Structure 1
Amino acid sequence: MRSAIIILLFFAMSITASAQTLQQRRVDSVFALVKKYFNEKNADAVYNLTGDAFQKEISIIGWADVAAKQLFPLGEMKETALISFVNNSMATYKTAFNSVTLQIFISLDQKNKLETFIFKPYTEPANNKTALVPTSNPMLSDMDKQVDTVARTYIQKANTVGLCIGIIKDGKTHIYQYGETKRGNGKLPNADSFFEIGSITKTFTATLLAWYVNEGKVKLTDPITMYLPDSVAVNQSLKDITLQNLINHTSGLVSVPDNLNDSMTDPFNPYKDYTKQLMYSYLRTCRLNSKPGEKYAYSNLGVGLLGVILQYVSGKPFEQMVSEIITRPLGMLSTAQYLNPLISPRFVSVYNSDGNPTIAWDFDVLAPCGALRSTVNDLLRYAKANMHPGADSLSKAIELTHHITFTKDVKIGLGWHVIPVNGISYYFHNGGTYGSNSFLAFNAEKNIAIVVLSNAYEPTDAVAAGILRKLQ
C-alpha cells in the first residue's frame, strides 16, 4: 500500500529533552489504540486515528480493503516493543503477530493523528563490528576513558563509519577521532573534516535574524506579510505570524510543505528542487495547524521562509550573509553551504541507516534550515563565541538568540533549544540528514561545550548526552 509518509526531517530535539519524552508518550498512546483496534479488527476505528495526509493517500474504503485482505490475516498484535524514536517523531515498533514479526513505523501530525503508518518485515540489526574501530583517543586521562566508553557504543555499530568529537572543558580543547572518513580508506576524520551539520544551520539563521533586529532592519514582532508578495500575503492564515514565530517554531506552519514531494526528482536528495516559487505557491493557500505563538511545532518551512525574508531585507544570498556576518568575523573559514574544489576533498562520505553509501543533500530555498557544512574546529569556535560573547555587534546578536521566547513543553530562544542534562541546562541544537548527524551544546557557567559530528544516519544525541553526563 502507499503511505502518507513525510520526508524525514532534521532533528528537532535531543533524546535527553523533556519535550521528547512528552512526544514519545503521545506516540505510544496512539500506538496503544492502534493495537487495541487492530486486535478487535476494527478498521474504521484505526482509520479514525489517521490524519489528513494519510487520508489523502487512501480512502476509508481502500483502507478497509487493505486491512481485511493484508493486515488482519496476520493475526493479533501480541508482543510489541519500541526499538527507535528518531527525530522526535518517527517511532519504530517491533511487533510480533501470530506467525510473523514485523516492524511498524508511526509518526503523528501536529493534531496528534497518524501521519506515517507503515508495516515492513522485521530484520534483526546487523551485528556490531567485532574488531575495535581505530581511534586517536590516547586513553590516558579519565576524560579520555570516559569519552571512549560512550563513543564505542556508537562507532562499533554496524551502520556507523566515522565520528569526530570536540570538547571544551576548563578552558582546554580536546579532540577525539574514530572510524573513517570513507569506509575502507583507513583515514580518521579529524577536526578539519567537513560534515553536513543539518539543523545546526538554524542557529546561524537565528543569529542573522538577531543581527538585523539589532540593526533596526526588522523587528521580532513584524508580521511576515510585511515581507511577502501581495499574491502570498493575501492569505489571511498568514497575517498573525511574526518573524519570532518562524524561528521559535510557533508559527503553526507545517514542518514540510505538501508540494515538496511533487517537486522532488531524487528521493535521496529531497530538498534540492524545492524553489521559492514552490514555497510561495504553497503559502498562497495554506492553512495553519495552530494559532501563531500558542504551540511549538518544529517547522523547516518556517525557518526556510525566514531565510527568504532575510535575503529580501539584506539583498544578499543566505551563504553570503552567513559569511559576512558570522563565519568570517569568527574566523570560521571552514563553514559554508558550497565547498570549492580546494576544500571539498575534506568532505567526508556519508552513509544511510543501513550503513550503505548515500548522497549529501543539496538545497534551494530551504537552505536556511540545514544547508551548512562545517568542521569540529569551526563549531568549537562558534560554541566559544556563544559561551563568551564580547561587546561587538555580532556578540550582541548572539546574546539575543539566547533570550528565551517560549516555554510551553519546550524551552527555546531564537533557534537555540534549552535542554537539561542531569539538572544542568545547555543551549543546544542537533541535525541530521539521510547520511549525517550532528550535535552542539554548551553551558557558559560550566564553561563546557561539546560538538559531535558523524557521517552516518545513526543519531549522535546519546553520544553527546552521555559524554556530558560524565563531564559534569
Structure 2
Amino acid sequence: MPRYLKATYFKICGIALSIFAATPLFAQMPTTPQEKKVDAVAHKVIALMNAHQSDSVYKLAGEAFKQQISLQLWRQINQTQLVNLLPFKSITFKGSQDGINKYKLQGNVLLALNISLDSYDKIANFTFTPYQDEVKPATMTVEEQQTDAVATKVLDYLNAGLPGSAYAFAGEKFRTAIDSATWRNITDKQLAPMLPLQNLVFLGSKNGVNKYKTGKLQFLMSLDKAGKFEVFAIQPYQEDAQKAEKVATDNPIQSHLDSVINKWLSAYIQTKGNVGLSAAVYYKGADHYYNYGETVNGNHQLPTAHTLYEIGSITKTFTSLLLARAVTEGLVTLSDPITKFLPDSVSANADLKAITLKQLSNHTSGLPRMPDNIDASVTDLNQPYEHYTEGLMFAFLKKFRLTGTPGTTYLYSNLATGLLGVILEKIYHKPYDELVKLYITQPLKLTETKVKLTDLDVKHLAQGYNEAGIPVPVWHHQSTKAAAAIKSTAADMLQYGKNQLPQFSNPLSKAIALTHPFTIDDGINKVGLSWHYLYTDADPVIQHTGATGGYRAVVCVNLKRAIVLVLLTNNASTGDAMGLNLMTALEKALPQ
C-alpha cells in the first residue's frame, strides 16, 4: 500500500516511540542518584527480557505505561516482536537527558534503549530506536542546493503551522499517494507534536534524495522534474554507511542496460539495512533479470527471478483486471452502483448509492484510505489487517457519510479496493484467491503468483524486514485481500507487465485494454482502473507501487516504447520510490 510519507513516530515492537531531542552524550557511567536508580531498573529489565520473563518486566511498569500498553498487548508484543531482538549481549550506558537514560544494546540488532522512571520509581518510558552515533554535516552540489531550498521552505511552513502552504510544494507522484486531506490529517496528528524541526544537519544525497539529521530523526526529500517534492519522509535516524563487503549479485555488467541497473541497485543494496532485491527489465524484445543481496539476512543466498515477495498494493491492478473481465463478460458495467451488490442492511445507506464500481477502482469513491473501525480489530501489530472481517467492513459502510461527490475527487483508498474485491467475490460466487488463479494467473501462465502460500511456496519466500531491520511476517487478510494480498516473483511480474503491452496477445487482452485508459485526470493524478500514470513522463507509462510491513515493490510499463521494469525488495525502506526513479533513468539512458 503506497506510502511516501513515513510516519513521524517510529514503530518497533508495535509501540509508537517518543523521539527525544538529541544532544551529545559523553558520560559512560551513571553518576547522579537518578541515573543510578534508572540504571538499576534498566539492567534488571534486560536481564528479565533475556530470561523471557516478560510478565515480570510488566510488573515494573508505571500506570502511565500500563494505560498505553495493556498486559495482553505487552505479551503479544513480546511473543511476536521482542523475541526477535533477544538475547541482548551487552548494555552500555550512553548518558541521560531530562531524566531519561540512554543505552546502547548489542543483540541481534544494534539498538538504543531509552528508559525513565515515574515518581514511584516505576517505568514511565521504555523505547527502542536504531542505535546511531553522532554525524558531521556534508557539503552540497548544485542539485542538492536546489532540493535544500525547497526542503527549507517546506519545513519553515510546517514549523509555522501552515501545512497547506507546505503541501503546495508537493509534486504529482507525492499527491497521488497522499492527497491534501490525508496530508492535513498526518500533519495534525503526527507531525505537529514533533514541531518545530530545527537545526537540520545535511548529510548528503543518494539517488537524488537529500538526507538531513535533526535530533534523533532524519528528514528525506527529493524533487521531481517540475521542482516539486517527490519524496518527503521523516523517520528515526538511520546511518547510510556502506556495507563493508561487496554485496553479491548476478548482474554481469556487460551491457549498457546492465550498467544503468547496477548504478542504481548497487548503491541501494550496499546501504546498511537493505537486505535483498530482484529486478526484471523487458527491453527491445528481451527479458533481463538482476538479483542482489540475500533472501534472509546473513544466509548468503542470492535471490533469483523465482524468489517470492509480497507485492502489496500492486494487487489492486489484479483486482481491477478482475473487474474489467466481469465487464467484458457482461456481468457488470463500470457504472453499476455498489449498492446493487451489497446486503440490504448496507445498501440502505443513502450515501453509498452514488458510488460506482469504477469509482472503487480509480480512487474517486469518497471512501477513506482506511476505515475508522480497523484499529480495534488488531491483536498483533505485525498483522494490521488479519482480523478485519467483511462484517466489520459492512458495519463501517452502514454508518459512512460522504464529504463530497463520488467521481470528482481523487482519494487513494485501500478500503475501496478491498470492498471491490468483496463485491467481485459475490459477483463470481468464488473467493478472491480462486478468482485470481482462475481468471488471471492461469490464463497468463503466472505460476508463481499467489494469494495463499503453500508450505513449498514459503521455502521460496524472501524474509521481509521492517524499517528497524527486524524480520516480520507477510500480512494476512480477510476483507482487504483485494488491496494487498498477492505474493509474486520477478519472473511472473515481468510477464504480467509485458502482457500490459498491446503487442502481447493473451486471453485477457480485451479486459487488460479496459484498465489502461484514464478514468480521472485532475491535473495531478491520471488513473485508469487502479493503474496510475507517471504524470510528468512524456510517454504513457502506467505504474503501481506496493508497500507492506517488510517489502516494497514497483512495476512500470512504458506503453509506447515497450519497456517494462519490475523491482521487488524484502525490506521496508525506499525500494518503491527508488524503482520509479529507476524507470525514469532507464527511459533517459536507453536508446529509442
TM-score range, shorter chain: 0.7 to 0.9
Q: Could you say which residue in structure 2 is the equivalent of 1:143?
A: 257
2: CA distance between counterparts of 1:26 and 1:254? 29
Q: Say which SS state the counterpart of residue 130 (structure 1) adopts.
A: coil
| Corresponding position: 1:468 with 2:586 | yes
1: CA distance between counterparts of 2:499 and 2:314? 15
Q: Could you say which residue in structure 2 is the equivalent of 1:341?
A: 455
1: CA distance between counterparts of 2:505 and 2:251? 37
Q: Is the 8 A contact 1:77 1:95 kept in 2?
A: no
2: CA distance between counterparts of 1:317 and 1:28? 50
Q: Say which SS state the counterpart of residue 330 (structure 1) adopts.
A: coil
2: CA distance between counterparts of 1:462 and 1:150? 8
Q: Is the 8 A contact 2:317 2:530 kept in 1?
A: yes
Normalised TM-score (structure 1):
0.78
Query: Which amino acid counterpart does residue 35 of structure 1 have in structure 2?
Result: N
Q: Is the 8 A contact 1:351 1:358 kept in 2?
A: yes
Deviation readout 1:366-393 (Å, 9 max, x if unpaired): 0000100001111111112111366665
Q: Could you say which residue in structure 1 is the equivalent of 2:83?
A: none
Q: Could you say which residue in structure 2 is the equivalent of 1:299?
A: 413
Q: Could you say which residue in structure 1 is the equivalent of 2:361?
A: 247
Task: State the number of aligned residues.
Answer: 409
1: CA distance between counterparts of 2:3 and 2:186? 21
Between 1 and 2, higher relative CO (CA 8 Å, sep ≥ 6) is seen in: 1
Deviation at 1:430, TM superposition (A): 1.1
Q: Could you say which residue in structure 2 is the equivalent of 1:427?
A: 542
Query: Which amino acid counterpart does residue 508 of structure 2 have in structure 1?
Result: L
2: CA distance between counterparts of 1:82 and 1:254? 36
Query: Which amino acid counterpart does residue 436 of structure 1 have in structure 2?
Result: Y
Q: Say which SS state the counterpart of residue 265 (structure 2) adopts.
A: helix
2: CA distance between counterparts of 1:329 and 1:37? 53
Query: Which amino acid counterpart does residue 483 of structure 2 have in structure 1?
Result: C
1: CA distance between counterparts of 2:397 and 2:521? 27
Query: Which amino acid counterpart does residue 134 of structure 1 have in structure 2?
Result: A
Q: Say which SS state the counterpart of residue 434 (structure 2) adopts.
A: helix
Query: Which amino acid counterpart does residue 431 of structure 1 have in structure 2?
Result: G
Aligned ranges for residues 8-407 of structure 1 at < 5 Å? 9-11=1-3, 32-37=156-161, 77-80=197-200, 96=214, 102=217, 123-388=237-502, 393-407=507-521
2: CA distance between counterparts of 1:308 and 1:83? 47
Q: Is the 8 A contact 1:421 1:468 kept in 2?
A: no
Q: Is the 8 A contact 2:526 2:535 kept in 1?
A: no
2: CA distance between counterparts of 1:83 and 1:260? 38
2: CA distance between counterparts of 1:236 and 1:214? 29
Deviation at 1:289, TM superposition (A): 4.0
1: CA distance between counterparts of 2:492 and 2:410? 30
Deviation at 1:78, TM superposition (A): 3.5
Deviation readout 1:253-288 (Å, 9 max, x if unpaired): 100111111101111211111110000011111123
Deviation readout 1:59-86 (Å, 9 max, x if unpaired): xxxx9xx97xxx79xxx653458999xx
Q: Is the 8 A contact 1:337 1:371 kept in 2?
A: yes
Q: Is the 8 A contact 2:312 2:547 kept in 1?
A: yes
Deviation at 1:330, TM superposition (A): 1.0
Normalised TM-score (structure 2):
0.63
2: CA distance between counterparts of 1:82 and 1:370? 36
2: CA distance between counterparts of 1:389 and 1:167? 17
Deviation at 1:445, TM superposition (A): 2.6
Query: Which amino acid counterpart does residue 188 of structure 1 have in structure 2?
Result: L
RMSD: 3.4
Q: Is the 8 A contact 2:213 2:237 kept in 1?
A: no
CA 1:54–1:101: 2 relative to 1, 3 Å? closer
Q: Could you say which residue in structure 1 is the equivalent of 2:531?
A: 416
Deviation at 1:465, TM superposition (A): 2.7
CA 1:412–1:350: 2 relative to 1, 3 Å? same
Percentage identity across paired residues of the two chains: 35
Q: Say which SS state the counterpart of residue 544 (structure 2) adopts.
A: strand
Deviation readout 1:427-465 (Å, 9 max, x if unpaired): 111101111011111123312111111101012232453
Which residues of structure 2 form unaligned runs of 5+?
Answer: 6-148, 163-181, 221-232
CA 1:403–1:185: 2 relative to 1, 3 Å? same
Deviation at 1:295, TM superposition (A): 0.9
CA 1:468–1:93: 2 relative to 1, 3 Å? closer
Q: Is the 8 A contact 2:540 2:560 kept in 1?
A: no
Q: Say which SS state the counterpart of residue 386 (structure 1) adopts.
A: coil
Deviation at 1:403, TM superposition (A): 1.6
Q: Is the 8 A contact 2:554 2:579 kept in 1?
A: no
Deviation readout 1:73-118 (Å, 9 max, x if unpaired): xxx653458999xxxxxx999675xxx565689xxxxxxxxxxxx9
Q: Say which SS state the counterpart of residue 472 (structure 2) adopts.
A: coil
Q: Is the 8 A contact 2:525 2:535 kept in 1?
A: no
Deviation at 1:140, TM superposition (A): 1.5
1: CA distance between counterparts of 2:495 and 2:508? 14
Query: Which amino acid counterpart does residue 255 of structure 1 have in structure 2?
Result: R
Q: Say which SS state the counterpart of residue 456 (structure 2) adopts.
A: coil
Q: Is the 8 A contact 1:254 1:289 kept in 2?
A: no
Query: Which amino acid counterpart does residue 139 of structure 1 have in structure 2?
Result: I
List 4+ stretches of structure 1 deviating above 6 A: 25-30, 49-55, 81-84
Deviation at 1:119, TM superposition (A): 9.5
1: CA distance between counterparts of 2:219 and 2:265? 29
Larger CA deviation: 441-450 vs 365-374: 441-450
2: CA distance between counterparts of 1:324 and 1:177? 30
CA 1:321–1:54: 2 relative to 1, 3 Å? same
Q: Say which SS state the counterpart of residue 343 (structure 1) adopts.
A: helix
1: CA distance between counterparts of 2:183 and 2:265? 39
Query: Which amino acid counterpart does residue 279 of structure 2 have in structure 1?
Result: I
CA 1:210–1:77: 2 relative to 1, 3 Å? closer
Deviation at 1:245, TM superposition (A): 0.4
1: CA distance between counterparts of 2:439 and 2:238? 48
